[in-house]
Structure formats: C-alpha cells, structure tokens
Amino acid sequence: MLDLEAARIFTLVVQNQSFSETARKLGVSAPVISKQVARLEKSLDARLLQRTTRRLGLTEAGAAFYAHCVRMLEEADAAERAVSRLHEAPRGHLRVSATVGFGSLRIAPLLPGFLARYPEVSVELVCDDRVVDLVDGGYDLALRLTAQPGELLVARSLTAVRQVLCAAPVYLQRRGTPQRPEDLADHNCLCYLRSDETGDTRWAFVSEGRPLNVPVAGNFSTNNIDALRRAAMAGLGIILGSSYRLEPDIRAGRLVEILADFLPEQDARIYAVYPSNRHLSPKVRVFIDYLVEALADS
C-alpha cells in the first residue's frame, strides 16, 4: 500500500527542487527526507528522481507518479476538510427557495425551532412557484415538489405529498358530486397555471389500476394556488391541490374531498436539493436534518 506521507514528502521535494529546503520547511533533517524518498522508490521499484549537484530532475516514472500524487493529495486534503467541517458549529446566512404554499404553510412554522437550536444561523426563505437556478440565484438549497429531482442535483427526500380533489359544499349541492373522473367534463374545474406547461390542462387519476389523464376546463385559472383555494371555498368550482394546503379546509368543512379513490396515493415528494458540485456545509446539513425530523413528526 502506498505510504501517503512519503508521497507528500516526494511531492514537496519536487515542488521545492531541494531536499534541504523541504527538510527545513518540515522541521526535520535532510537525511530523513532523503531516506523517505529512497524508501518510496524501493517500494515502487522505480527511480523517481535524477539527482545532480545542481538540480533535481524527474524521471519518466517520477513525472507520471508526481502527477498522480498531486491529484491524490488534493483529494486527501479535501476529504480531511470535509470531515473537519462536520465538527464545526453551523453558522452563517442560509438562503432557501421553496414554493409559496409549502414554504408558507409547512416551512415557516418550523423556523423558530430551528433558529432557537442554531442561533448562529440566519434564514432567508424565498417563496416562489417558479423553479429557480440555485447557483445564479445564490441559493444554498431548494425545497421542491417533484417526482424527479434532477440529475445535476443532490436530493434528499423530506416528505410525501398527496394530491386531493375537492369543492365547497355549496358547489356540490348546486352541481352535484362527480362519481368518476370522466364526470369532470360536466363541471367547472379551477386550473392552476404552471409556467412549464402548455396546452390543455389534464388531471392525473388512477382507474382500475391504470393511469388516466382527464382533460379539464373551467372559467377561472391562475398561477396562485391560494387564489384557486379561495375561489373553490366561495363555491366557484373544483380544485386539485396538495394535501398540506387543502386538508385544513377539508377538516374545517369549508371544502369536501371528492374522487379520493381515483387519485394516486403519492403523486410526488418534497425534496431538499442542492448542486452536486457544491460541498454540503454544516448550516445546510443541519437544516436538512431538522426538516427531515420535523416533517416526519408532523
């Protein structure tokens, strides 16, 4: 097995072009350095350095070995830094992106507990239903509702999200309660406008164990789910939305859930995501851990 310390000494000798200078910087004698390099050459069964009275030169084997040593030592140093950061106290400003609904209803109520536990961290929660660029936007992480987090992101699942279909009691009394997804063709469906969608709105159901996408339409659509929710409670039509947003209204009787047997048990999950090429800092790590714990309890 390669002696990492000997490889580090060899690399320093090459960079300093001197055994004595390397010894001085490391606080040891020059013979100690010379013996380390000689032992390394013996273990590799190859001469690495050409020694002359004026300078040190690399052999062909030495040049190849040096290039690998530089990369290997950089990785080793990065690994040590990563471990040491795990023991650092989380601190600094944390910029988080979340959807309007999930950020305001589920994340904001959890922040007092997090900030009390980690007083040296401050949180900036930016709620926007658009998918933001984490790097360009200066975000540490994003909380996204999706079925596919993305290949260029590191993702950790936080919680499952169920879709619910509901309407106000007054609407169902006036228009009747749909019994099957196909019945929605005769109803006023309140549609959420997504920036990444074009064409007709379709709602996803499961009928007899098979996926069923039903085209829906109505006289009101918006890119604000809270506006849809308020319109539904006023009796305007039927709304499809996330359980965490609509279940409080269902429990209070302001909305009635319909077609529950035809909706997938889990449409998507909420993920905490951050760029794969970015080191996971202590403040991000503890925030994600806190959300996993808190959302599991809720």
Percent of the chain with pLDDT over 70: 92
Judge if 4-86 and 92-159+268-297 fold alike in CATH terms.
no
Residue, of 73 and 219, whose pLDDT is higher: 219
Q: Looking at the predicted structure, is the pLDDT value of residue 97 above 90? A: yes
Q: Would you state the pLDDT for residue 145?
A: 81
Look up the CATH number of domain 4-86.
Answer: 1.10.10.10
What's the CA gap between 126 and 106, in Å, rounded? 14
Burial 276-291 (b: 16+ CB within 10 A, else e): eeeebbbbbebbbebb
The confidence band for 198, taking pLDDT boundaries of 50, 70 and 90, is: low
Going by C-alpha positions, the residue among 93, 73, 103, 58 that lies closest to residue 226 is 103
What's the CA gap between 172 and 256, in Å, rounded? 9
CATH of 163-262, one of 3.40.190.10, 3.40.50.300, 3.40.50.2000, 3.40.50.150: 3.40.190.10
Q: Would you state the pLDDT for residue 285?
A: 92
Q: What is the pLDDT of residues 61-75, one digit of tens each?
A: 888 988 988 898 888
Q: Would you state the pLDDT for residue 62?
A: 85
Q: Looking at the predicted structure, is the pLDDT value of residue 85 above 70? A: no
What's the CA gap between 102 and 109, in Å, rounded? 11
Average the pLDDT over 169-190 and give the result. Answer: 95
Q: Would you state the pLDDT for residue 199?
A: 58
Q: Would you state the pLDDT for residue 93?
A: 94
The confidence band for 298, taking pLDDT boundaries of 50, 70 and 90, is: low
pTM higher than 0.85? no
For the chain, domain boundaries = 4-86, 92-159+268-297, 163-262
Going by C-alpha positions, the residue among 32, 39, 31, 37 that lies closest to residue 49 is 37
**CB neighbour class for 219 (10 Å; exposed up to 12, middle 13-18, buried from 19):** exposed
Q: Looking at the predicted structure, is the pLDDT value of residue 172 above 80? A: yes
- The least confident of 110-114, 168-172, 260-264 is 260-264
Q: Would you state the pLDDT for residue 75?
A: 87
Q: Would you state the pLDDT for residue 188?
A: 96
| Cβ atoms 166, 177 nearer than 8 A | no
Q: Which residues pair with 143 in a beta bridge?
A: 98, 272
Q: Would you state the pLDDT for residue 240?
A: 93
Mean pLDDT computed over every residue of the chain: 87
Q: Would you state the pLDDT for residue 265?
A: 67
Q: Would you state the pLDDT for residue 196?
A: 56
Q: Would you state the pLDDT for residue 297?
A: 59
What's the CA gap between 49 and 81, in Å, rounded? 31
Q: Would you state the pLDDT for residue 218?
A: 92
Report the CATH fold assignment for 92-159+268-297: D-Maltodextrin-Binding Protein; domain 2 (3.40.190)
Average the pLDDT over 169-197 and give the result. Answer: 89
Average the pLDDT over 220-224 and give the result. Answer: 88
